[in-house]
Amino acid sequence: MRAMTTLFAGAALVTPDGIVPEGWLEVEGERIVGLGAGAPPRAADVALGGGTLAPGFVDIHSHGGGGATVVGADPGAVATFAEAHRRCGTTTIVASLVSGHFDSLAHDVAVLAELTDAGVIAGTHLEGPWIAMEYKGAHDPGTLRDPDPEEVDRLIAIGRGTIRMVTLAPEHPHGIDAVRRFVDAGAIAAIGHTNATYDRVRAAIDAGASCTTHLYNAMRPVNHREPGPVVALTEDPRVTNELILDGVHVHPASAAFAVRAAEGRVLFVSDAMSAAGGEDGAYMLGDLEVLVVDGVARLVDGGAIAGSTLTLDRAVKFAIEQVGMSPPGLGRREPGGAMTGAPSADGGWARSASRAGAARHWPAVAREPRARVYVPAAVTDRSRHGLLGKEQP
Ligand SMILES: [Zn+2]
């Protein structure tokens, strides 16, 4: 007897090999069991009515959404946060904390570990507190410090494998040591909120750092005699670079420059605060007051940009319309706008289709140079997942 499957039809399919203008896709549980162009082999269970069916997005840097913040690790708030981003196509999300004192970080890491076990989030990202005062952004300056090895080890133990990423400034006295400790614990060490020199960043990469936290934002800028973090991070094939493509954090030309400099090693993050997917108004980022006007979040005190209100569907839209990228894999557009790669019907899509449950695999996904086809675990009862909406790129 054949297992129960669900067949989606009537949408453009974004696959690793190209876009199928009109196609169908069949899933069994968490696995894609078939897909193709044209009319489906049987009647559709879910008629998509001309939308675009895309892989679920993986967001490795996000602090909030739907009016909820992950800081404080309230289980209800974290669920609201994950659901707000899921409505916009993000099926795998890491919860990002902000700089805080040890006790509050320890509390949040412990609770987020349970929520990771429960599948609500894909893990925890510690953004700070071991970042640079000069590039603190919207972080509370009273909490910034050197990554003391004992403190690092205690947090790693409390996270018991669920701390997936840490953002730190490698110029701290114990910065390079902390990179090694986190990498040894299976986390990704990301360079960000940093005043490090080019040489110091290279030393951190040699120690195992493999990601950039929001390239360009909150780091020493490029200088012709001191290239700084931007050059060290984009030029090195071991490093993947985050971009916040909300139209505020990075100029489209700077984004395009990074995409060329780090070809296949750029990933989009929301760095969203609680107003993502919500309204303009007053919000909190950690203990700091934030005002959102026209979708731009700034600290009430000082006016620094305080995260974004971005969701990854909008980041992809911006990448296509403003940066000149085109799916799949968001590779560069060919002259005349033709897509690179041609769809084939030989099962290549299905082979590259990857199992959902990306929580365990997300570091691999984050480094994957080309997009994979993902179907969220709950796709059968939440058919909106992975839909970019009616607009086609
Ligand atoms: Zn952030």
Q: Could you tell me what percent of the chain has a pLDDT over 70?
A: 82
pLDDT of 330? 54
Q: Is the dihedral of CA 261, 266, 271, 276 positive or negative?
A: positive
Coil, strand or helix at 283? strand
Distance between Cα 328 and ligand 1 center (Å): 26
Average pLDDT taken over every residue of the chain: 81
Does residue 175 surpass a pLDDT of 90? yes
Task: Tell me the average pLDDT across 144-163.
Answer: 98
List, in sequence order, every residue forming a beta bridge with 6; answer none if it has no partner. 27
Two tokens, residue 119: 């599948």
Residue with tokens 């990202």: 125
pLDDT of 60? 93
Q: For this structure, is 246 an active site residue? A: no
| Helices 228-235, 198-206: crossing angle, 10 deg rounding | 40
Distance between Cα 290 and ligand 1 center (Å): 14
Residue with tokens 């940093």: 194
pLDDT band at 284 (very low <50, low <70, confident <90, very high): confident
Distance between Cα 205 and ligand 1 center (Å): 21
Question: Which CATH topology does 57-326 take?
Answer: TIM Barrel (3.20.20)
pLDDT in tens, 121-135: 999 999 999 999 999
pLDDT in tens, 294-347: 888 888 988 888 889 999 988 988 888 888 887 655 544 333 332 232 222 222
Residue range(s) of every CATH 2.30.40 domain in the chain: 1-55+348-393
pLDDT of 381? 27
pLDDT in tens, 216-267: 999 999 999 999 999 999 999 999 999 999 988 999 999 999 999 998 899 9
Distance between Cα 355 and ligand 1 center (Å): 28
- Contact predicate 253/291, CB 8 Å: no
Distance between Cα 259 and ligand 1 center (Å): 20
The DSSP element (H or E) to which 166 belongs, if any, is strand 163-168
pLDDT of 373? 33
- Contact predicate 207/183, CB 8 Å: yes
Distance between Cα 100 and ligand 1 center (Å): 13
Q: Is residue 374 classed exposed, middle or buried when 0-12, 13-18 and 19+ CB atoms within 10 A define those classes?
A: buried
pTM for this prediction: 0.82
Distance between Cα 192 and ligand 1 center (Å): 10
Residue with tokens 């404080």: 72
Distance between Cα 271 and ligand 1 center (Å): 5
Task: Tell me the average pLDDT across 205-217.
Answer: 97
pLDDT of 285? 76
pLDDT of 328? 57
Residue range(s) of every CATH 3.20.20.140 domain in the chain: 57-326
Distance between Cα 375 and ligand 1 center (Å): 26
Two tokens, residue 335: 């002259």
Task: Tell me the average pLDDT across 72-94.
Answer: 92
pLDDT in tens, 50-82: 877 887 888 999 999 999 999 999 999 999 999
pLDDT in tens, 344-390: 222 222 222 222 222 222 222 222 333 333 333 222 222 333 333 22
What span, in angstroms and rounded, lies between the C-alpha atoms of 381 and 358? Answer: 18
Coil, strand or helix at 83? helix
Distance between Cα 320 and ligand 1 center (Å): 23
Two tokens, residue 194: 């940093």
- Contact predicate 44/381, CB 8 Å: no
pLDDT band at 2 (very low <50, low <70, confident <90, very high): low
- Active-site choice (108, 236, 271, 313): 271
pLDDT of 313? 86
Tell me the C-alpha to C-alpha distance, in Å, between residue 220 and each of 139, 188, 295.
Answer: 16, 21, 26
Nearest in space to 190 (alpha carbons), one of 331, 342, 367: 367
Distance between Cα 61 and ligand 1 center (Å): 6
Task: Tell me the average pLDDT across 179-207.
Answer: 97
Instruction: Work out the widest C-alpha separation in the chain, in whole angstroms.
Output: 69
Does residue 10 surpass a pLDDT of 60? yes
Higher-confidence residue of 310 and 391: namely: 310
CATH number of 1-55+348-393: 2.30.40
Q: 40-49, 199-208, 336-345: which has the highest mean pLDDT?
A: 199-208
